[in-house]
Amino acid sequence: MRTGTEYKDRLLKFNYEQVITSSEFEGRKIDIVVEPKILIQSGLIQ
Counting the structural domains of the chain, the total is: 1
Please list the pLDDT of the chain residue by residue as tens digits (46 residues): 566 888 888 888 888 888 988 888 888 899 988 888 888 888 887 7
pLDDT at position 1 is 58
Q: How far is CA 6 from CA 3, 45, 46, in A?
A: 8, 13, 12
- 44: exposed, middle or buried (C-beta count within 10 Å: 0-12, 13-18, 19+)? exposed
pLDDT at position 8 is 82
pLDDT at position 38 is 87
Q: What is the residue range of 10's domain?
A: 4-42
